[in-house]
Every structure is written in C-alpha cells, then in structure tokens.
C-alpha cells in the first residue's frame, strides 16, 4: 500500500493523511491497451443450427444489470427492460416464428442445455449446464437465436425475490434467485476470445412462470379486434418527414370556438412544460430510475408487477411497428401531462387534485381519500395508487429516501409532479437573488439523467425558453389532441427512413 516513490518518504505522514482523507491512492500498473480484431469474432449464427430445437444462445447485458455487477439493486431489478419490458426475470427471447415452432408463448418455461455435439459440454455435468427460463416472444428477433440476459441468477439475490407487500393472495412461492445464470452455458473457447454464441438444445418444460411485465400490448398497427390501434393509437408515435415546416405558435393553435367551461384560472405566472424528443430517446430507462430515486417511489416486487401495480411515475412505452424492413421499435416516455383541462381534476369528489398557479396538476396526498376515479379518467394512465402501505419503519432502508419528497401512505393516488421540489428550490434560490429562475435553472430528475438530452423542461409562457422553442418545432405534436386536454408535454416526432434491402447495415 505504502509506496515511498509516490507517497513521499515518511510513512507517518502517509498514515495521517490517509486517516484524515479516508482514502489512499494506489498506483496500478499501467494497463496495456487491448486491441480488437474483428476477424477473430466468430460468425454469430453457425449455418448448421437450423435443426428444430437447436438454437444459438446469445447472452446479452441488460442496461440495468450490465454484466451482473448491479444485480443487488432492487431499483434495477424492477426496471423494465427497454425492449422486452420484463422485470425481475432473465427471460429467454425467441422470435414469434420460433415460438410457434416450439409451441410456446410468453411465460412458458423452457430448459436450455448445451447442444449434443458440443465437446466442451461433456466436461461438466448436465445439471450445471442446464437452466430453466421463461419464454419472452420478441418480435423482430432472428429465428435461430435465443437471447438471455447475463448477470442474473446470482447468489444471494434470493432475498429480493420475495420483496413486496405481504398479504393473503401474494404469491410468495418464488424463493429462488432472481433470474437464471447462463454463464456456464456460454462457450468459452480460449482466453481472449470472449463469450461466443453457443449452440444449445431447447426443451419445453410444460410449466409456466408468469412474466412480471409492464406492457402487454405493443403493436400500433393491430388487426382484428384491436383494430382501434390503427386509428387512435397511430397518432401516439408520429413520424415526421425531414424538413417539416415549423408548427404554428401556441396562440394560433388554441381552439377558437366557444368553450362551455371558460378557464377561470388565468395563467399569470409560469406554465411548466416539457418537450420530449422521441428521435433522441433510446429507451434506455435511466430517467425511470432517476424518477424513482428522486421521488421516493417504492419497489413493489415481482408479484405486484405481475398484477400491474408497478409504481413508476415515469414509464417508457415501447411500441412495435411493422415496417417494410422488419419490425421497428419506438420508445415514448410517458408521464403526467399536467393537463390544462385535466380529466382527473374534475372527477375528484374531495378536490385532492387541483391545478396550481404555475400550471401544475398537483396531488394533495393528505386530502386524497382514494376513490381512484382520477386514475380511471386519466387518458394516459399515468396515475399510481398506493395499494398497500409500502413505507417501512426500517431505519436503514429509509436512509435512501429523498427528504424533500413526501412518502405516501396507503390508499392515496400519486403521479409525476414535474419534480415540484426542484421547481420550488430553484424559485426560492432565484427569489433570494431577487429574480425569477432563468430558463434551465430547473431540471427535473428525468431530464437531468437523460444522456441524450431528449427531455427539455421549462416555462411555456416564457417566449424565449428552450421548451417554448421546441413546441414550435416542425416535429412537435401533443397526444390525444381530440380530447382538448391542453397537455404540458410536447413530443417531437421521430424521423425514420425505412431501410431497403440493398442499404448497408447502418443505413437506418
């Protein structure tokens, strides 16, 4: 630890400094630069794998757990995967065609074992190399591939499997580790070659394990009984042509006809709003975790997510679109739109949800009696309900809470506040300086965390704010315009060009 060449000649001085700082610097040997030789990467799909029941296993790191180093964080275990939307599970993704061949659907357990001809497999026992995972049918996936996230199934993750409210109907049978570890299955040929795709044998177990999934319906162009999907939901994700003309400014788009319900709540101060660039959003879900951490949103556990009671205030809706080039995926961050004409406000019998002077739709927890009428009437379904008492008395667990945000009790509704605590903080700081907060002073947790800067927050009433400028963008649109909700969130449409077969790979 002590190195006279870097730490100085005196051990005493080094010791005192280390005690005072609480840390020491350790010099590591210089790391030799690794070089990456593309020609050494094995072909991802061996041509011989076409046989029924033989698939190629690919282990992939998820954004939440990476290689598994974050497997001990319940926030991340409950974070829906950006594409599969599965939580608390390492599901095996297969294409719809392969699922049909195997005769399985979402949640059917399969057993993955090494292919018979893999000589490396004979060295280990079959038990070591067999994992049981539930199926996740993944549109757009290669038919020969079975993809399972790595980093799951770690020792000591059992304690998270049973997280959640304890009650009569709670399914507490799952006491195993979270997910399954597929590392032993992945062929490691020689050191330095990394993890190679592995031919595996897949057998159907015949049992099921329901997925804890946050989104069940994902197609924007549905057929048959879901035909409405094409009409109403087609407008959810919009595609813009490059170079679209700027949108008329807000005052011009305001409905000109007489309003049966004149707005008595004149907006004098700021009107907080958000613009979300769907083109920039990668669906990485960092904002979801940021929101959860900032706003003391509880982790509810696998059983509750299965019952569709996840508490995330901000979610990312993921839609599939059938395009000429295959299945496209669109991500749409979805949170409270802080509507000007808020459907939740009119229906609450006790005025527990009202509009603030700065245009926020505020939820008053202490006034809420829990009729859930607001949740029913919310067209975006962004309101959440405290089905149980999620707050706990444990000191250690409470250390994680944000002291600026109320911890909600059982039986009240809650939803995104646009991080009102940060708004108030910034306004207070500005007031002490004798001014109003400048554009960009207020950054909600989601916007702060977004690596792609897809979220712009600011005052819609300020003609010079960035968010105001974005609402005039040619790609700007609001959701469910026909309902005249006057939402404070504006989306910027995606610009997509369909890949033609002769385009090169990255021509998306």
| Interacting residues toward another protein by CB under 8 A | 165, 167-169, 215-220, 222, 224-229, 231-233, 236, 304, 307-310, 315, 317-319, 332, 334, 343, 346-351, 367-373, 375-377, 379-381, 383-389, 410-413, 480, 483
In the complex, the smallest distance separating the C-beta of residue 479 from another protein, rounded to whole angstroms, is 8
Measured distance CA(35)–CA(117) in Å, rounded: 32
Can you read off the two tokens belonging to residue 7? Answer: 């730490």
Would you say 494 and 331 are in contact if contact means Cβ atoms under 8 Å apart?
no
Closest to another protein by CB, 188 vs 381, is: 381
HEC secondary structure over 98-143: HHHHHCCCCCEEEEEEECCCCHHHHHCCCHHHCEEEEEEECCCCCC
Can you read off the two tokens belonging to residue 339? Answer: 């509507």
**Residue 394, CA atoms < 13 Å, CB-side half-sphere:** 4
In the complex, the smallest distance separating the C-beta of residue 488 from another protein, rounded to whole angstroms, is 17
Can you read off the two tokens belonging to residue 327? Answer: 């299945």
Angle at 73 between CA 69 and CA 76, to 5 degrees: 90
In the complex, the smallest distance separating the C-beta of residue 274 from another protein, rounded to whole angstroms, is 17
Closest to another protein by CB, 72 vs 219, is: 219
- Contacting residues for 271 by C-beta, under 8 A, at least 6 apart: 358, 359, 459, 460, 461, 488
Closest to another protein by CB, 309 vs 466, is: 309
Closest to another protein by CB, 352 vs 443, is: 352
Closest to another protein by CB, 223 vs 251, is: 223
In the complex, the smallest distance separating the C-beta of residue 188 from another protein, rounded to whole angstroms, is 39
Measured distance CA(67)–CA(61) in Å, rounded: 5
Residue 283 DSSP one-character state: -
Closest to another protein by CB, 307 vs 323, is: 307
Closest to another protein by CB, 53 vs 234, is: 234
373: phi then psi, degrees, rounded to nearest 5: -65, -40
Residue count (the chain): 508
In the complex, the smallest distance separating the C-beta of residue 285 from another protein, rounded to whole angstroms, is 14
Would you say 498 and 281 are in contact if contact means Cβ atoms under 8 Å apart?
no
Other CB atoms within a 10 A radius of the CB of residue 163 amount to 18
In the complex, the smallest distance separating the C-beta of residue 501 from another protein, rounded to whole angstroms, is 30
Closest to another protein by CB, 204 vs 480, is: 480
In the complex, the smallest distance separating the C-beta of residue 53 from another protein, rounded to whole angstroms, is 32
In the complex, the smallest distance separating the C-beta of residue 85 from another protein, rounded to whole angstroms, is 9
Closest to another protein by CB, 397 vs 481, is: 481
Would you say 182 and 90 are in contact if contact means Cβ atoms under 8 Å apart?
yes
In the complex, the smallest distance separating the C-beta of residue 372 from another protein, rounded to whole angstroms, is 3
Other CB atoms within a 10 A radius of the CB of residue 408 amount to 23
Measured distance CA(465)–CA(467) in Å, rounded: 5
- Contacting residues for 105 by C-beta, under 8 A, at least 6 apart: 99, 135, 137
377: phi then psi, degrees, rounded to nearest 5: -85, -5
In the complex, the smallest distance separating the C-beta of residue 127 from another protein, rounded to whole angstroms, is 36
In the complex, the smallest distance separating the C-beta of residue 304 from another protein, rounded to whole angstroms, is 8
Pairing of strands 92-94, 131-137: parallel
Closest to another protein by CB, 54 vs 295, is: 295
The two most distant CA atoms of the chain are separated, in Å, by 84
Closest to another protein by CB, 124 vs 483, is: 483
SS3 of residue 394 by DSSP? coil
């Amino acid at each position: 630890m002590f190195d006279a060449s870097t730490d100085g000649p005196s051990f005493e001085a080094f010791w005192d400094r280390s005690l005072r700082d609480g840390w020491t610097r350790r010099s590591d040997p210089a790391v030799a630069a690794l070089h990456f030789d593309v020609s050494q990467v094995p072909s991802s799909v061996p041509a011989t794998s076409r046989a029924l029941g033989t698939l190629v296993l690919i282990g992939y790191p998820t954004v939440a757990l990476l290689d598994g180093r974050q497997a001990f964080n319940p926030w991340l275990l409950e974070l829906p995967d950006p594409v599969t939307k599965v939580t608390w599970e390492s599901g095996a993704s297969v294409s719809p065609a392969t699922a049909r061949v195997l005769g399985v659907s979402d949640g059917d357990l399969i057993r993955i074992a090494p292919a018979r001809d893999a000589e490396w497999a004979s060295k280990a026992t079959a038990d070591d190399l067999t994992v049981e995972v539930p199926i996740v049918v993944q549109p757009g996936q290669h038919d020969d591939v079975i993809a399972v996230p790595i980093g799951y199934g770690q020792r000591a993750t059992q304690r998270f499997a049973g997280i959640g409210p304890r009650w009569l109907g709670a399914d507490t049978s799952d006491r195993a580790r979270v997910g399954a570890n597929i590392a032993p299955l992945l062929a490691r040929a020689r050191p330095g070659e990394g993890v190679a795709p592995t031919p595996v044998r897949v057998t159907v177990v015949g049992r099921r394990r329901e997925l804890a999934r946050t989104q069940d319906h994902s197609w924007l162009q549905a057929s048959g009984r879901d035909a409405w999907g094409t009409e109403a939901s087609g407008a959810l994700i919009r595609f813009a042509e490059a170079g679209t003309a700027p949108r008329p400014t807000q005052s011009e788009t305001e409905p000109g006809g007489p309003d049966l319900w004149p707005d008595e709540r004149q907006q004098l101060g700021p009107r907080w709003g958000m613009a979300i660039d769907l083109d920039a959003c990668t669906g990485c879900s960092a904002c979801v975790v940021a929101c959860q951490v900032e706003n003391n949103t509880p982790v509810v556990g696998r059983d509750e997510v299965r019952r569709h009671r996840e508490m995330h205030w901000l979610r990312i809706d993921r839609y599939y679109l059938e395009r000429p080039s295959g299945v496209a995926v669109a991500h749409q961050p979805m949170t409270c739109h802080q509507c000007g004409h808020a459907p939740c406000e009119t229906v609450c019998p006790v005025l527990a949800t009202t509009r603030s002077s700065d245009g926020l739709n505020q939820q008053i927890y202490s006034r809420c009696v829990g009729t859930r009428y607001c949740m029913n009437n919310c067209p975006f379904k962004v309101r959440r309900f405290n089905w149980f008492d999620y707050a706990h008395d444990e000191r250690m667990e409470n250390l994680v809470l944000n002291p600026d945000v109320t911890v909600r009790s059982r039986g009240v509704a809650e939803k995104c506040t646009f991080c009102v605590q940060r708004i108030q903080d910034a306004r207070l700081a500005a007031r002490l300086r004798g001014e109003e907060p400048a554009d960009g002073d207020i950054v909600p947790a989601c916007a702060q965390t977004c690596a792609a800067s897809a979220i712009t927050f600011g005052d819609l009433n300020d003609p010079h704010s960035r968010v105001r400028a974005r609402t005039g963008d040619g790609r700007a649109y609001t959701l469910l315009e026909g309902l005249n909700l006057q939402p404070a969130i504006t989306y910027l449409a995606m610009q997509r060009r369909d890949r033609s077969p002769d385009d090169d790979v990255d021509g998306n």
